[in-house]
């Protein structure tokens, strides 16, 4: 059976679109021409300033299976400008109301920091537009009373599938990896 999914390590600065009317670099400029010609589509999005794991498929049912809220967790590593308090970590998991609905993480873990920056791992069950950036911008740094800002965002995993290739590179998923993305190993 032919591969149905490919992994791409999206670099910062390119858009996830087939064509950009402003002439900006898109993910399709960085992938082989056949990806666009054979109608491979991204499963989900990462904004222009984000980087990391992005999946593509030419089998439409994969899109629905992997973008359905709550089905597959997505893991991010972020750097936030400012200190993130324990209270704000708790709020991130409980949920924060916003104009686009409640923003919340399933899990947040402090990985470290340096100076006035905090490095976090964030796991989402749902991926609203710019959810991680909006969630942490809703919090104030307890020391400066300024809004936190996500300075760097990298998606490191989708479900049990982890990013393992350099920035700008791609590869097909194995059938075993595809089964990591499905419930009980069933293909969509």
Task: Give the HSE-up count for residue 70: Cα atoms under 13 Å, Cβ half-sphere.
Answer: 0
The answer to whether 2 is a known catalytic residue is no
Question: What gap in Å lies between CA 147 and CA 162, rounded to an integer?
Answer: 31
84 Cα distance to chain centroid: 20
The closest of 29, 32, 54, 57 to 44, measured between CA atoms, is 54
In sequence order, which ranges of 46-168 are alpha helices (DSSP H)?
60-67, 86-94, 131-137
Catalytic one among 2, 20, 47, 164? 47
Reported in sequence order, the residue ranges of the chain that DSSP labels E, i.e. its strands, are: 5-10, 41-43, 51-57, 74-81, 107-114, 117-124, 149-158, 161-162, 170-172
Residue keyed to tokens 């056949």:
34
Residues labelled as active-site residues = 47
């Amino acid at each position: 059976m032919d591969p149905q999914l490919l992994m791409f390590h999206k670099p910062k600065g390119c858009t996830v679109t087939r064509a950009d009317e402003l002439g900006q670099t898109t993910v399709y400029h960085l992938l082989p021409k056949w990806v666009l010609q054979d109608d491979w589509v991204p499963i989900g999005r990462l904004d222009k300033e984000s980087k990391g794991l992005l999946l593509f498929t030419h089998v439409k049912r994969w899109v629905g299976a992997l973008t359905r809220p709550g089905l597959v967790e997505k893991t991010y590593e972020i750097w936030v400008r400012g200190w993130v308090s324990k209270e704000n970590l708790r709020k991130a998991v409980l949920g924060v109301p916003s104009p686009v609905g409640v923003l919340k993480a399933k899990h947040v873990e402090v990985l470290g920091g340096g100076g006035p920056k905090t490095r976090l791992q964030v796991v989402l069950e749902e991926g609203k537009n710019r959810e991680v950036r909006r969630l942490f911008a809703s919090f104030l740094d307890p020391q400066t009373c300024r809004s936190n800002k996500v300075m760097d965002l990298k998606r490191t995993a989708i479900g049990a599938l982890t990013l393992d290739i350099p920035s700008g590179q791609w590869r097909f998923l194995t059938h075993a990896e595809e089964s990591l993305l499905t419930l009980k190993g069933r293909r969509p």
